[in-house]
Amino acid sequence: MTRVRPRRPSRRATRRGIVVSTAGALVLAAALLWQSAYAGFTDQTAALPASIGTGTVALTNEIEGIAPLSLPEMRPGDSVTECVIVTSTGSLPATVRLYVRDRTSTTDLASYLQLSWDAGTGGGVNADCAGFRSAGTTVSTTMGSFASSYARGILPWDTAGGTTAETRTYKFTVTLSDSAPARVKGGSARLTFVWEAQNR
């Protein structure tokens, strides 16, 4: 029986295997070295604490908490004037506008009640207008067509915000039109004036 000797790889094949194995080892070693270096060098900035809060928008008037304003019975041509002081104590700048809500009327009286509003300084204590000084803008309209939303609100007032209270006096005059017909006799009208501030 003839024994078959296993063939020994040629020297060229051996050299090729060594070259391939060595190249693979170099790649592996380089990869390990890169990963080690990447993991070994880190840095961070100093911690930066941060806190976030919200500012305030706040309005009051000097007749809050007392009975609703009630005007006397009027005849055509009669007028009544009152003043109100509005105070802003919000920390943020805001725009204040005046409008109405909860408007009701009988006998179509609202169409013949003329409302005239002015803004300025001074006066306003207990609704008295003594010492009032106009800022130069007056808005007149009937009760029935008076602005009923902030977007359409009148006499915009830009407050600065901060720690110091800011005040503005509003003077309004209600007049029953001379042309009011007999059908409005015995009628009544009611509405709520709203000063709203929105942050700019």
Residue count of the chain: 200
Cα of 92 vs its chain's centroid, Å: 10
- HEC readout, 58-69: CEEECCCCCCCC
- Say which range, 20-29, 120-129, 161-170, has the weakest mean pLDDT: 20-29
- Calculate the CA dihedral of residues 145, 134, 127, 114 and round it to 10 degrees: -20
121-156: pLDDT as tens digits: 998 777 889 999 999 889 999 989 999 999 999 999
Which CATH code fits 59-65+73-199? 2.60.120
